[in-house]
Amino acid sequence: MKIKFLESLMIVVFCLTSCISQENPPEIKTPDQSKFSTETVIDGIDIPWGMDFISESEILVTEKKGTLYRVYNGEKVEVKGLPEIYNRGQGGLLDVALHPDYENNKIIYLTAGVHIEGDAGGNTALYCGELNGNRLSNLKLLYKGKSNTKKGQHWGSRIVFDYKGHIFFGIGDRGNRDVNPQDLNRDGGKIYRLNLDGSIPVDNPFVDQEGALKAVYSYGHRNPQGMTINPETGEIWENEHGPKGGDEINIIQKGKNYGWPVITYGINYSGTSITDKTSMPGMEQPFYYWVPSIAPSGMAFSSSNVYNQWKGDLFVGSLKFKYLEHLVIKKGKVVKREKILNDIGRVRNVKEGPDGYLYLGVEGKGILKLVMK
């Protein structure tokens, strides 16, 4: 009886402490919008899903339908040599990122929906290749989620590097929430970690677990849409779409289970319950969550001094409500929320450029640079 009592007490303590960062989240404010404006870097891109900077004047931008652009001083040129893109639902050409040693090796990475083997349909894949001028060569498939499906939802997918020789990327649950996110033998609902050449790191958390996918770094995710490195701590921060309510920001840790769909702060789109649980032992609480959902996408920290008093703050694009959300974080909690560029459009991506400014990929508008008046 004593052991059972202690076990019950531990569960109660876990549930209380794990929700602490979400206690009394602040209401979002809408500051004077005349303080903010944008400059158009490049237009004519319908869904600018991903971007990365070659220099202050050169940007790589993906368009979801399957085109990669190299933007030179406001002029865009199509990059040839991409894999065949499976553009379905939320899938297509997704993120793009330069190798940490791009200046010397010209390697870039792409995530995309593809159909290259197996049953009809597709899944998310990670590629690398050498960018020579406006052509991609030596294209190499590093990873592809198995179990193709014709479902159009929840492909992920962002790319980040830890600058310790690893690349991280996500694959959403692909619309199979009851199986994929919690099954380590199946792709989907996971964050993956590979060496930069595509090999499996020997210290990945599940390399010695029989049947488990060796590339998995964390699991229990729904649909990762934003991912970035916290420049102050080196931690990987990720955001993901919840169902109706329950969008999350997570700090990704090795081997951890982030709970979907066993625990969630959201409900089905129909209004019915998914689960009555918002916490469970052995499952991580989100650092932050939104109710109602904002449909978060790209995410970036501001690490420069170009914006007054914004250094160290987090910025998240809202697809649903068409604004850029500014989050001020103190002592491990969100203490302030603001709508920046209210009603700017569906903010698909947010990236800090080498000049210290924030750049937004806005659907129907292209790439915009955020400036203060």
Do 343 and 327 contact (CB within 8 A), yes or no? no
**Catalytic pick among 154, 221, 241, 326:** 154
- Backbone Cα Rg of the chain: 20
Could you tell me which of 56, 85, 59, 81 has the C-alpha nearest to residue 70?
59
Could you tell me which of 136, 145, 140 has the C-alpha nearest to residue 69?
136
Catalytic residue check, 241? no
Q: To 10 degrees, the CA torsion angle through 291, 295, 299, 305?
A: -70
Q: Is the peptide bond before 354 cis (omega within 30 degrees of 0)?
A: no
Q: 360: helix, coil or strand?
A: strand
Counted residue by residue, the chain has a size of: 373
Nearby residues of 112 by Cβ (< 8 Å), 6 or more positions away: 66, 82, 83, 85, 86, 91, 92, 93, 94, 124, 125, 127
Catalytic residues: 154
